Chain A
Amino acid sequence: MLQGSAMKILLIEDDADTAAYIANGLREHGHVADHAADGRDGLFLAAGAHYDVMIVDRMLPGLDGLGIVKTIRGAGVQTPVLFLTTMDSIDDRVAGLEAGGDDYLVKPFAFAELLARLNALARRPPLGAVETVLRVADLEMDLLKRSVTRAGQRIELQPQEFKLLEYLMRHAGRVVTRTMLLENVWEFHFDPQTNVVETHISRLRSKVDRGFAAELIHTVRGAGYCLRAPD
């Protein structure tokens, strides 16, 4: 399947409807989801078992989301955390990341967005692993020389296109959403009114895919984009 292997996910969310929506969605996509309805249970589960990734609501009865993450980080648990919140301010996002969160998603959200972000978090390369060359099929990116070749043929990229391709290659095989690209490639924490993402993807495609037998950059309808090796 597109999203890769199953993940074991801990969901700490007090709103029953949202929790059911997320947990069911995750199970439909073949993942294992444990649910805790308050901060204390959540902390108990987080400390007791191994999870690939945790989804933590910011506002919880008992112990709040920030407190949970600070506590488990203090105890040395490195499980990636995605904060789910209705608190939409920049300061809130910064506070969440400073507490040890790895990503931040504001409610309401599209399920595809959540899934893509969980995939990106759960399969992050371990810290400290420094790669200098990224490879997907016959596409190769040298991060030191800042050069890109496909099937040995050199491809000239603008700086922004290089950044975009690097992000896609680091998340190869996984869906990346428009918002993930906007935030991580261009530092746009807002929704632009022009088709910035589409424009850059189409330019990148014309350089990376045009004239080659197999397409690497795919559009995933209703979700985003995915760079992957042909089957």
Chain B
Amino acid sequence: MHPTRLLRTTSFRLSALYAVLFGASVLVLIGVIYWTAIDALHQQLIAAVDGEIAVLVEADHTSGASRVAEAIGRRVASGGRFTAFYLLQDAGGAKLAGNLPAMKPVTGWTELPIPAQGDSEEDAADGYQLLARGISLADGGFLLVGADTYRLTELREAILGAFAWGLAATIVLAVVGGAAMSTGFLRRIDAINRTARAIIDGRLGDRVPVRGTRDEFDQLAQNFNEMLDRIQALMDSLRQVSNDIAHDLRSPLSRLRQRLEAARAKARSAEDYEAAVDQALAETDAILATFTALLRIAQIEAGTRQAAFAVLDLSEIFRRVAEIYSAVAEDRGQRLIATISPGLTFRGDRELLIQMLANLVENAIRHTPAGTTIALDLERTAGVVVGRVSDNGPGIPADARAKVFQRFYRLEASRTTPGSGLGLALVAAVAELHRICIELADNGPGLRVSLRFPKGS
């Protein structure tokens, strides 16, 4: 894998971002620890100095400056729990006791350099400071007690060192982890890319391998494969349509041509020609109608109409279609009975829904004999809106039910009735666009078409 490619991956950039974020958290964490620890130690030093001062001042009160000097002398000689520094001066500023040089009295907290003395010379060179507190005594003398900040400095350095190591480790881990993760991602992306490439190159059957880990990549691979399946299905259907057009338009076109040729050869009178032209016009109109229907189905299947969906009064559409067709049915000796619950709404395309329903009702009217009763129902049952077009005519055999929605499919029995064989294909396309579940069933006798309208729209 090429290193620059690795650097460009999203996961690597994310890792870099995480490295920065983690670095910042380490900084904050260490900062808090640093501040807390240093402060605690500082307080400890202050408390120790305060304690010494309290003891020595008490001694001064009870026994006088000479006892204090004695006590300081003992302490300096023995060393304490921490390296302590003392200075006792009289009112005139002369040093009485202690291991610090005489100085101008300063009361309160102060920081002093450690005086160079013997073996602690290195300490002074290192610039350690002395945390000291001076206090005036009752007789005008001056007492100063100081503590070495050596441990404070040590702690500070230890914490800063830990911080540096921690930060370095965080960044190294983030970079290495990011690179490893990116490599994994890239490998799986590459699998998808390879498939895409293969398909571009014409191997349409290729699919992305699915690992079965059910993670995002698997989902992506699955969706990708489903998309490919869908495209494949669309292409098959496109091929089918081209074949259908070739087949179904070729026959009427050749009929048209034969008629015109015959008229050219045989017609003698103006009436003959007129009749031939009229026939040719009718034939042309039929061809155009088939063409329009095919284009419309293709258009609906493309699915772009969803943008124009609006909430519709579905009951009104059913009622309208029932009113329009009950007269048509009556003229053919059939009955159309409508049972429509009012006020049912649906989100969709009005024009297409009217056409869908009209096609279904026309289908029932045209393929059943006189005396048939056709029922058009719309109701809500158990929260689901269901529309039904049923008849008690001859029905269609169970094995043909799935096929009637295909383009140009026509039952043998209905080959003699006029029609393009596209009506139900259009119904299927409109139903699919609206996610309406459409079902053909035996109405015992006859055919029942159920439309289950999806909820929440």
A residues whose Cβ falls under 8 Å from a Cβ of B = 88-91, 94, 106, 108, 158-160, 186-196, 199-200, 202-203
**Could you mark each residue 408-438 of chain B with 1 if its beta carbon is under 8 Å from any beta carbon of chain A, else 0?**
0000000000111001000000000000000
Contact between chains at A193 and B308 (CB < 8 Å): no
Contact of B324 among A89, A190, A193, A196 (CB under 8 A): A196
3 A-B pairs with the lowest CB-CB distances in the bound complex, closest first: A160-B323, A199-B328, A193-B362
Residues in B neighbouring A94, C-beta threshold 8 A: 308
Contact of B355 among A159, A188, A194, A203 (CB under 8 A): A188
Contact between chains at B324 and A88 (CB < 8 Å): no
Residues in B neighbouring A186, C-beta threshold 8 A: 320, 324
Residues in B neighbouring A199, C-beta threshold 8 A: 327-328, 331
Residues in A neighbouring B295, C-beta threshold 8 A: 88-89
Q: Is B358 an interface residue (CB 8 A)?
A: yes
Interface of B is mostly: helix
Residues in A neighbouring B199, C-beta threshold 8 A: none
Q: Is B188 an interface residue (CB 8 A)?
A: no
Q: Is B247 an interface residue (CB 8 A)?
A: no
Q: Is B259 an interface residue (CB 8 A)?
A: no
Distance in Å: Cβ of A83 to nearest Cβ of chain B: 17
Residues in A neighbouring B355, C-beta threshold 8 A: 188-190
Contact between chains at A108 and B288 (CB < 8 Å): yes
Contact between chains at B327 and A91 (CB < 8 Å): no
Contact of B328 among A190, A191, A195 (CB under 8 A): A195
**Could you mark each residue 288-318 of chain B with 1 if its beta carbon is under 8 Å from any beta carbon of chain A, else 0?**
1100110110010000110010000000000
Contact of A90 among B305, B323, B328 (CB under 8 A): B305
Contact between chains at B351 and A194 (CB < 8 Å): no
Residues in B neighbouring A192, C-beta threshold 8 A: 358, 362
Given the interface contacts A88-B295, A193-B419, does A188 sit within 8 Å of B358 by beta carbon?
Answer: yes
Q: Is B42 an interface residue (CB 8 A)?
A: no
Q: Is B88 an interface residue (CB 8 A)?
A: no
A191 to B285, CA, bound (A): 11
Contact between chains at B351 and A187 (CB < 8 Å): yes
**Can you name 20 A-B pairs with beta carbons within 8 Å?**
A88-B292, A88-B295, A89-B295, A90-B308, A90-B349, A106-B292, A158-B323, A186-B320, A186-B324, A187-B350, A188-B355, A189-B351, A190-B355, A191-B289, A191-B292, A192-B362, A193-B418, A194-B325, A194-B366, A199-B331
Interface of A is mostly: loop
Residues in B neighbouring A190, C-beta threshold 8 A: 293, 296, 355, 358
Contact between chains at A160 and B299 (CB < 8 Å): no
Q: Is B354 an interface residue (CB 8 A)?
A: yes
Segment 68-106 of B: residues with Cβ below 8 Å from A: none
Measured CB to CB, the nearest residue on chain A to B293 is: A190
Residues in B neighbouring A90, C-beta threshold 8 A: 299, 305, 308, 349, 351-352
**Could you mark each residue 338-366 of chain B with 1 if its beta carbon is under 8 Å from any beta carbon of chain A, else 0?**
00000000000111101100110010011
Distance in Å: Cβ of A161 to nearest Cβ of chain B: 8
A188 to B327, CA, bound (A): 16
Given contacts A188-B355, A193-B419, 12 further A-B contacts (CB under 8 A): A88-B292, A90-B352, A91-B308, A108-B288, A187-B320, A190-B296, A191-B289, A193-B366, A194-B328, A194-B362, A200-B324, A200-B327
Distance in Å: Cβ of B76 to nearest Cβ of chain A: 101
Contact between chains at A196 and B325 (CB < 8 Å): yes
Residues in B neighbouring A158, C-beta threshold 8 A: 323, 327
Residues in A neighbouring B365, C-beta threshold 8 A: 194
Measured CB to CB, the nearest residue on chain A to B355 is: A190
A88 to B331, CA, bound (A): 33
Residues in A neighbouring B288, C-beta threshold 8 A: 108
Residues in B neighbouring A202, C-beta threshold 8 A: 331
Distance in Å: Cβ of B89 to nearest Cβ of chain A: 101
Distance in Å: Cβ of B374 to nearest Cβ of chain A: 12
Measured CB to CB, the nearest residue on chain B to A92 is: B299
Segment 370-423 of B: residues with Cβ below 8 Å from A: 418-420, 423
Measured CB to CB, the nearest residue on chain A to B295 is: A88
Residues in A neighbouring B359, C-beta threshold 8 A: 193
A186 to B320, CA, bound (A): 8
Distance in Å: Cβ of B364 to nearest Cβ of chain A: 10
A190 to B418, CA, bound (A): 16
A199 to B323, CA, bound (A): 12
A91 to B349, CA, bound (A): 12
Distance in Å: Cβ of B269 to nearest Cβ of chain A: 20
Measured CB to CB, the nearest residue on chain B to A202 is: B331
Measured CB to CB, the nearest residue on chain A to B423 is: A193
Measured CB to CB, the nearest residue on chain A to B418 is: A193
Contact between chains at A89 and B299 (CB < 8 Å): yes
Distance in Å: Cβ of B410 to nearest Cβ of chain A: 13
Measured CB to CB, the nearest residue on chain B to A200 is: B327
A203 to B295, CA, bound (A): 34
A194 to B331, CA, bound (A): 11
Residues in B neighbouring A187, C-beta threshold 8 A: 320, 350-351, 354
Residues in B neighbouring A188, C-beta threshold 8 A: 354-355, 358
Residues in A neighbouring B351, C-beta threshold 8 A: 90, 187, 189
Contact between chains at B296 and A160 (CB < 8 Å): no
Residues in A neighbouring B328, C-beta threshold 8 A: 194-196, 199
Measured CB to CB, the nearest residue on chain A to B417 is: A193
A86 to B304, CA, bound (A): 19
Measured CB to CB, the nearest residue on chain B to A159 is: B323
Measured CB to CB, the nearest residue on chain A to B420 is: A193
Measured CB to CB, the nearest residue on chain B to A89 is: B299
Q: Most chain-B CB neighbours within 10 Å: which of A108, A193, A202, A203?
A: A193
Residues in B neighbouring A196, C-beta threshold 8 A: 324-325, 328
Distance in Å: Cβ of B207 to nearest Cβ of chain A: 33
